[in-house]
Amino acid sequence: MPQDHPDGTVPMQLTGADKKVPTDWQDQFRGVYLQPEWTAKEGTDKNLFANIANQAFAAVLDLSYTVPIGKILYVNSISFAINGNLAADAEKNNIGRLYLYDVTNDKSIAVVGGNGGGQLPLLKPIAFSATTEIKLRLYNMAGHNTDLFSCLEGYEI
């Protein structure tokens, strides 16, 4: 009978062929988690956020991060919010466009746009290898000054 880890996990290695895995289910609770949810439980999740106020048309908000040596960053989603800086602009079109760049390899990876905000959920996470510099860049595409917010969620293992 396998010994459980203190955190309740059971180590298994399955490689292609069918195998029988002995497990003691008696008096124990088991659950199945999606990887992003599990990473929050084990503390490897990464939540990156940036904000800046009162930016003119075509101004950008940059969020930079370099994946540490020995790690891989998996991105689950990118999102942004944008609102008029003045009350008079609150109900106008507040349009933004958010890019995820791989700076090291000079590639645009993903983009999402929207009026007031937007989100790009990634069911298949985007992986960035160690030492890769990434940049989340949000453009203010509204014709007036806005407040900008961007967010990247993922995990790093």
Partner 1 sequence: MEGLKKLKAGDFNNMNQSPQPDGSVIITLSKRGENKSYRFRVHDLYGPDEKVLEHEVIGGNTNG
Which spans of this chain sit near partner 1 (rule: CB under 8 A)? 43, 45-52, 61-68, 71, 133, 156
In this complex, which beta carbon is closest to partner 1, that of residue 90 or of residue 130? 130
- CB 61 to partner 1: min, Å: 7
- CB 127 to partner 1: min, Å: 15
Query: Is 19 exposed, middle or buried (CB count within 10 Å of its CB: 0-12, 13-18, 19+)?
Result: exposed
In this complex, which beta carbon is closest to partner 1, that of residue 92 or of residue 135? 135
In this complex, which beta carbon is closest to partner 1, that of residue 46 or of residue 120? 46
Sign, CA torsion 14/8/27/24: positive
In this complex, which beta carbon is closest to partner 1, that of residue 24 or of residue 62? 62
CA dist 123 to 39, 53, 75, 126, Å?
15, 31, 10, 9
CA 116/CA 94 separation, integer angstroms: 5
- CB 3 to partner 1: min, Å: 25
Side-chain-side CA neighbours of 16 within 13 Å: the count stands at 0
- CB 133 to partner 1: min, Å: 6
In this complex, which beta carbon is closest to partner 1, that of residue 94 or of residue 150? 150
Query: Is 97 exposed, middle or buried (CB count within 10 Å of its CB: 0-12, 13-18, 19+)?
Result: middle
- CB 12 to partner 1: min, Å: 26
